[in-house]
Amino acid sequence: MATDMQTPVQTEQHSKLREFFIDQLEDIYWAEKKLVKTLPKMANAATSAQLRDAFNSHLEETRNHVTRIERAFDMINQEASDKECPALKGIAKEGEDIIDETEDNTAQRDVGLIFAGQKAEHYEIATYGGLVQLARTLGHEDVAELLSETLQEEKNADKLLTQIAEQGANVAAGREASND
């Protein structure tokens, strides 16, 4: 008899899968809170108004992501807590380095900021994709739907950054003279 891969498994309240799910939820909770602090710096460093607006718009979404994660914790009867996310910590540091190592008001800086932004988005897309599937496996369809909203917003942010790069930042940076 074939089994359906989408059928929730019966898990113990303290199963290893639930522990892993909570661990990853704590990780992305820290990451989203870090981004709430990081996105304004990226927006301020952006040269183009379009990129600045994209970062500011995603900042508002990211604040909602934090709230959604808190709701997800509540929905699984778990106190919301975070733990440092080494991956996003590194990505945020890389973004700060890009700001420090590029000239103000250059398209090169915008290209670097887009790279850093997309690295963060790809990390979040991978994490939320996994969390949605784990929530379904654990029988938390309500949590899966909630996190799916965030997953879609992360994908949209990534697409917008790609459009900004393709529609101007990359070409403009290619025309800037090197300081070497």
Report the pLDDT averaged over residues 21-25: 97
Work out the percent of the chain whose per-residue pLDDT is above 70: 91
Residue 113 pLDDT: 95
Task: Using the CB atoms, write b or e for 120-156: b if 16+ within 10 Å.
Answer: bbebbbebbebbbebbbbbebeebbebbbebbebbbe
pTM for this predicted structure: 0.89
Contact 110, 48 (CB under 8 A): yes
Q: Which CATH fold topology does 23-172 show?
A: Ferritin (1.20.1260)
Domain residue extents for the chain: 23-172
Report the pLDDT averaged over residues 101-112: 91
Residue 7 pLDDT: 53
Residue 174 pLDDT: 79
